[in-house]
Structure 1
Amino acid sequence: MTYHDTQESLQANARWDKPIHHERPIRVICIGAGASGLLFAYKLQRSFRNFSLTVYDKNPEISGTWTENRYPGCACDVPSHSYTYSFFPNPDFTHYYSGSAEIRKYFQKFASTFGLERFVKTQHEVKAANWDDAQSKWVVEVMDVKSGEVITDSGDFLINATGFLNNWQWPKVDGLDTFKGDLAHTARWPEDLDLRGKRVGLIGNGSSGIQVLPAIQPYVSSLTTFIRHNTWITKPFGKSEPRPFTEEELHEFRNDPSTLLEHRKEAESDMNNMFGVFLKDHPIQQDARKMNVEAMEVRLNKDKELSTRLIPDWSVGCRRYTPGPGYLEALQAPNVNVVYGGVTEVLPNGCKTSTGEVFELDTLICATGFDVSHRPRFPLVGKDGVNLQDTWAKSPRSYMSMGAPDMPNYIMVMGPNSPSGNGPVLSAIEAQVSYALRMIDRLQTENIRSFVPKDSAVETFNDYVDTFMEKTVWKDVCKSWYKNGTTNGRVTGLWPGSTLHFLEAVREPRWEDWEVSYEGNLFSWLGNGYSQCETTPGADLAWYLCDEDRTEWGSRRKRREEEIMPTTAKVEKNSGEKVEEKRQAENGGLRRDSAAAVA
């Protein structure tokens, strides 16, 4: 008998002496202590027992991207109260759109409120993960960032919560290491960097570059911004321009939970009501384009050259919206020099462009974004020695944004084709974490060794994605991180539908899409014939008796209505009365007023 067979026999036999669904000890490893990793830690400790968890994070503090991004002007481009967990509001946000410091504080408060720090090891970076099939465990190599020491850990389940805007990268340009002045990346901003009176260069006009430029423009001697691509500069998501909340608003948020909830629902509904803008030839898309062209031209003071250079010919939403309060105005400031074209070489004293022109600089800022390939940054070796780095070298192909081929007991949060730009993000993260917990629950309470998505499910899901994307503006000819920084590549950064569509799609795992491996007898989880109820002191042994039917609705329709319909509408529906008033003007089920949210 092999070691593997012995372990199977021991674990399977152990269940014969326990009641049904016995919760065996389980070990979980999570990578990343940002929004996803912290939520996972909270949800796991909330519902599970007989587990151990370690969350590894390479940074000195928790909060993920909001710990790393501290550049001037760094802020979230969605309304503050639409960037919280559904169950943990924050009445203390001071602005309609929050800066990185306030968001970082929010996640730190969340962690301290629920004591999540006890699960987290900061300054510990995962360097490799290997699936040990004999033990049905992940063996993970972790480096202590301070000492350089490498330790080994192992777990039954591996959660990758590193996020998709985390692995920052320098621009691929010759001579970068020869620059003698101050060199900074927006995701690694030096705390002591003083730009006052300096000649500053800025590479990149994506979201980070658009935020940092107006923030530093008033304090520098000169600012040369190198622009390679045009982009839509829209207003931020939501109905309000950037502004602080009034003292009256803050007082109501802090003292009247119903007022805050109403505000949160309005902000969230606005985000969930914009999906039509991403569909080609949709009326909302057409309206949004017209309004954005007019708005940009007005802000550019009808400057024909700037308008021609900056206003795209591709659709609004082909790449991530780039709300830029003050950006277009700052481009026209006397101390700002707009250079069209990329930097071809960095010199010790400045930058050279494709025309051969040299710009002398004291400081060079690189707002050049992140590696968004979704390819693991460390060797991730699953069953049969398959390394996901190799499998995804050209293009990542996930299962439902969370599973990966040949990777047992492995779930990604915000993996390929997650709804990162389809609507609210944190609600999508909550759905993915809940999905992971469903799998961990089965692993703990049944005699299951491993789950791995079937190859056929991975392939057919990606076939669906590619077919769906053809009708979206994301397939327009524009360079976008949605397409891994390419112009015409596959759309791997977005879900094929709205965020609400995603929430419904992943609510119930499709177990038939997973290859499930068991230990011993397939049904040994049935145990010794006793229920958990019978072995719990003081339990109600007739818990199923009641005076009305309180069981879960049997159809998806009824379960959905229970959640999404207002209480008054539920009453009307149950009594056979009309549920809704006449619908607003719609096209394809989407409200026309959505265009205003992205204009």
Structure 2
Amino acid sequence: MVAAPQAFSKITSESIQNDKARHSQHPPAGKPLFSERKVRIICIGAGASGLCFAYKLQRSFRNFELIIYEKNPAVSGTWWENTYPGCACDVPAHNYTFSWEPSVDATAVYVSSQELFQYFDRFATKYNLHKYVQLEHQVIGAKWNGNSWDVDIQNRTNDHVFQAQCDILINASGILNNWKWPVIPGLNEFKGQLLHSANWNSNVDLHGKTVGLIGNGSSGIQILPAIQPEVNKVVTFIRGATWISPVQGLDQHNYTEEERRLFRNEPSQLTAYRKMNETSMNCLFGTFIKGSKTQLDTRVDLTTKMRTKLKGTGLESKLIPQWSPGCRRLTPGINYLEALGQPNVQVVAGEVSRITETGCTDKNGVSHPLDVLICATGFDVSFKPRFPIVGLTGDLQNQWAKEPKSYLGTAAAGVPNYMLFLGPNCPIGNGPVLRVIEVQADYMLHWIDRWQTENIRSFSPKVAAVDDFVEHVNDYMNCTVWTEDCRSWYKNGTADGRVTALWPGSSLHFMETMEYPRHDDFDVTYNGNRFSWMGNGYSQTELDSGADWAYYIRDADDSPALGRSMRRIAKTGRDENHTKESVTAEEKKPTSEVREIQTNGPIVAA
């Protein structure tokens, strides 16, 4: 046995403690390197974004204070608010989950809003996140005071308004939940039951009624087949054509008890199934590129399928768009085209010119008497904040009223210590959105870590960095179908406006772009000397007698590759000179039992 060096053998726990005592005397006053100061955080909204943020903050940080103000009586945001007939997510349920938190209880490929609410509520309960949430409290204003945020909050149960302070403000209020009525003359004159899809009144009985339905976006497409069997008649007012596009292999399918048992008892098979679905969705990005083979093939395929389902209705010319698939958000449209052909459904193409006491008048002057009018007319998608957010250069409400300009969809110039989920030019419609939320949360936590362990007062993206990002986005969008002549919420409800809701690339592109923050794009101010965080000259390790003071000594180099190209190779597995053994593609495939759950032939990526 090799004897320990003499100097090492003299080190005892007692001498370490004595040294620690002396250390507190001799170095300059201060704490060791990377000491954590307490950080106070206010998060707006307890939907998927807010819950993800709380989970990740709790998992990786200790010295923090977090309050999430949620305007609703429950968590889950969109999936608590939307209860209209047929409301469901148009993303497969096993992929509308956090990447590390599968849902073994999903009942179908596409599940109801109630089932999704239960997923997020269970998630909050499992990880004890409810303790951070103040329900029925709505943020109504926020102002940067030079050092921190003053945030105005209204208690919705008694209308009491109070103020709270925080070091960092996170906006997780989302984009698709600030619903709005259509701008149609006479809306308030209607004497029947007036409903909005996002503010549904479940006490209204539709049975045997004549119902008007305005809108054929995602909500309208879900509502029609859900109410058609129970009403006397539906008059559906369709403003324009739209593509109905189930992802190949991901048609609606109710899982059998045997399939659900497989997912519960064999986690690896559920993971394989989720990966298979995720690959299918990640393969769709080529659809959005003008003139690409994927785009052309998709158009032919969808046109054929829609013509087949619409055959005999005479609606082909009204429903099949002239613009490319993907210009508006694609939707599976489960049973929608079939419902349009039912005898109790009347399709009226074009705008509603006026709403009267008894119904709607179409663009040709024809009156349509109605008992109930449903407005599936969507949300305010302007990205303009719903309340004043006053930073260094004024109110973000005013600055974003005409054109929202973000930094990577996550921050705003001139607004210190403020970050938002799913902001302008974030990949909301490019691919799997929950993974985007996870990536943004990680990015935010990187800055929170710097704030907490360095003596930073404030950080915000530079105006020049935001301007360059917007310029790059605008240039890139010219190669996509999103700029074609279709009215879309991607362009704030216009046909020819700037694409403000989408990322200039794929979801995978976004994930890898956001992996490491570009600190030189930010203006950073400090409390005193920018290096005072270096403290008393000791590392955290040296002040812990139980720590490994030689942690960097090891048998082999197991450190991760630092170059971007090598990190990429680690993901792709392609490197002719790389000798590391890897799992073959054949070994990664799910079992035939899992593949058979795909109900419409091979997936796109097969």
Give TM-score, length-normalised by structure 2.
0.90
Q: Is the partner of 1:497 in helix, strand or coil?
A: coil
Whether 1:350 aligns to 2:359 is yes
Q: Is the partner of 1:515 in helix, strand or coil?
A: strand
Do the aligned partners of 1:70 and 1:100 also contact (CA within 8 Å) in 2? yes
Whether 1:324 aligns to 2:333 is yes
Q: Percent identity?
A: 51
Q: 2:113 aligns with which of 93, 96, 100?
A: 100
Whether 1:301 aligns to 2:311 is yes
Which position in structure 1 is the counterpart of 2:133? Answer: 120
1:554 is displaced (CA, Å) by: 2.0
Q: Is the partner of 1:411 in helix, strand or coil?
A: strand
1:596 is displaced (CA, Å) by: 7.0
1:284 is displaced (CA, Å) by: 0.7
For residues 57 and 362 of structure 2, the distance between their equivalents in structure 1, rounded to whole angstroms, comes to 52
1:276 is displaced (CA, Å) by: 0.5
1:190 is displaced (CA, Å) by: 1.1
Which position in structure 2 is the counterpart of 1:226? Answer: 237
Which position in structure 1 is the counterpart of 2:578? Answer: 573
Do the aligned partners of 2:248 and 2:602 also contact (CA within 8 Å) in 1? no
For residues 152 and 582 of structure 2, the distance between their equivalents in structure 1, rounded to whole angstroms, comes to 61
Change in CA separation of 1:578 and 1:222 when aligned onto 2, cut-off 3 Å: closer
Do the aligned partners of 2:280 and 2:603 also contact (CA within 8 Å) in 1? no
Do the aligned partners of 1:278 and 1:285 also contact (CA within 8 Å) in 2? yes
Taking only aligned residues, the RMSD between alpha carbons, in angstroms, comes to 2.1
491-500 vs 178-187, which deviates more? 178-187
Whether 1:202 aligns to 2:213 is yes
Which position in structure 1 is the counterpart of 2:345? Answer: 336
548-557 vs 460-469, which deviates more? 548-557
Change in CA separation of 1:577 and 1:375 when aligned onto 2, cut-off 3 Å: closer
Pairs aligned (count): 566
Change in CA separation of 1:521 and 1:418 when aligned onto 2, cut-off 3 Å: same
1:110 is displaced (CA, Å) by: 0.6
For residues 359 and 580 of structure 2, the distance between their equivalents in structure 1, rounded to whole angstroms, comes to 74
Q: 2:262 aligns with which of 252, 259, 283?
A: 252
1:434 is displaced (CA, Å) by: 0.2
Whether 1:76 aligns to 2:89 is yes
Q: After superposition, where does 1:387-536 map in structure 2 within 5 Å?
A: 387-536=395-544
Q: Which amino acid aligns with 1:486?
A: T
Do the aligned partners of 1:16 and 1:524 also contact (CA within 8 Å) in 2? no
Question: Which digits, 9 at most, give the CA deviation of each residue in 1:61-89, with x for residues without a partner?
Answer: 11011111111111111111111101101
Do the aligned partners of 2:411 and 2:420 also contact (CA within 8 Å) in 1? yes
Q: 1:91 aligns with which of 95, 104, 108?
A: 104
1:411 is displaced (CA, Å) by: 0.7
Which position in structure 2 is the counterpart of 1:30? Answer: 43
Question: Which digits, 9 at most, give the CA deviation of each residue in 1:188-224, with x for residues without a partner?
Answer: 1112221101111101110100000010000001111
Which position in structure 2 is the counterpart of 1:270? Answer: 280
Q: Which amino acid aligns with 2:71?
A: K
For residues 444 and 103 of structure 1, the distance between their equivalents in structure 2, rounded to whole angstroms, comes to 34
Q: Which amino acid aligns with 2:168?
A: F
Question: Which digits, 9 at most, give the CA deviation of each residue in 1:255-311, with x for residues without a partner?
Answer: 0111101101001111111111100000110011011111111101154x4101111
1:46 is displaced (CA, Å) by: 0.7
For residues 15 and 75 of structure 1, the distance between their equivalents in structure 2, rounded to whole angstroms, comes to 61
1:57 is displaced (CA, Å) by: 1.1
Which position in structure 2 is the counterpart of 1:109? Answer: 122
1:174 is displaced (CA, Å) by: 1.9
Larger Rg: 2
Change in CA separation of 1:19 and 1:63 when aligned onto 2, cut-off 3 Å: same
Which position in structure 2 is the counterpart of 1:543? Answer: 551
For residues 471 and 459 of structure 1, the distance between their equivalents in structure 2, rounded to whole angstroms, comes to 20
For residues 439 and 31 of structure 1, the distance between their equivalents in structure 2, rounded to whole angstroms, comes to 18
For residues 87 and 295 of structure 1, the distance between their equivalents in structure 2, rounded to whole angstroms, comes to 35
Q: Is the partner of 2:153 in helix, strand or coil?
A: strand
Q: Is the partner of 1:62 in helix, strand or coil?
A: coil
Q: 1:46 aligns with which of 42, 52, 59?
A: 59
Q: Is the partner of 1:574 in helix, strand or coil?
A: coil
Change in CA separation of 1:265 and 1:310 when aligned onto 2, cut-off 3 Å: same
Which position in structure 1 is the counterpart of 2:298? Answer: 288
Q: Is the partner of 2:149 in helix, strand or coil?
A: strand
For residues 161 and 462 of structure 1, the distance between their equivalents in structure 2, rounded to whole angstroms, comes to 22
Do the aligned partners of 1:182 and 1:362 also contact (CA within 8 Å) in 2? yes
Change in CA separation of 1:169 and 1:478 when aligned onto 2, cut-off 3 Å: same
Q: Which amino acid aligns with 2:419?
A: I
For residues 113 and 296 of structure 1, the distance between their equivalents in structure 2, rounded to whole angstroms, comes to 43
Change in CA separation of 1:552 and 1:103 when aligned onto 2, cut-off 3 Å: same
Do the aligned partners of 1:288 and 1:595 also contact (CA within 8 Å) in 2? no
Q: 1:214 aligns with which of 204, 225, 240?
A: 225
Q: 1:310 aligns with which of 298, 316, 319?
A: 319
Question: Which digits, 9 at most, give the CA deviation of each residue in 1:463-497, with x for residues without a partner?
Answer: 00000000000011000000010000000111000
Q: Which amino acid aligns with 2:400?
A: W
1:25 is displaced (CA, Å) by: 0.9
For residues 291 and 302 of structure 1, the distance between their equivalents in structure 2, rounded to whole angstroms, comes to 19
1:347 is displaced (CA, Å) by: 1.6
1:560 is displaced (CA, Å) by: 3.2
1:595 is displaced (CA, Å) by: 12
Whether 1:169 aligns to 2:180 is yes
Change in CA separation of 1:596 and 1:266 when aligned onto 2, cut-off 3 Å: closer
Change in CA separation of 1:231 and 1:577 when aligned onto 2, cut-off 3 Å: closer
Change in CA separation of 1:181 and 1:576 when aligned onto 2, cut-off 3 Å: closer
Which position in structure 2 is the counterpart of 1:3? Answer: none
Do the aligned partners of 1:238 and 1:267 also contact (CA within 8 Å) in 2? no
Question: Which digits, 9 at most, give the CA deviation of each residue in 1:538-597, with x for residues without a partner?
Answer: 1111111111112222212223333454xxx7999325999989xxxxxxxxxxxx9975
Q: Is the partner of 1:330 in helix, strand or coil?
A: helix
Do the aligned partners of 2:248 and 2:603 also contact (CA within 8 Å) in 1? no
Question: Which digits, 9 at most, give the CA deviation of each residue in 1:20-48, with x for residues without a partner?
Answer: 11101110010111110000000001111
Stretches of structure 1 lacking an aligned partner (at least 5 in a row): 1-13, 582-593
Q: Which amino acid aligns with 2:280?
A: D
Q: Is the partner of 2:195 in helix, strand or coil?
A: strand
For residues 85 and 581 of structure 2, the distance between their equivalents in structure 1, rounded to whole angstroms, comes to 57
1:97 is displaced (CA, Å) by: 1.2
Q: Is the partner of 1:93 in helix, strand or coil?
A: coil
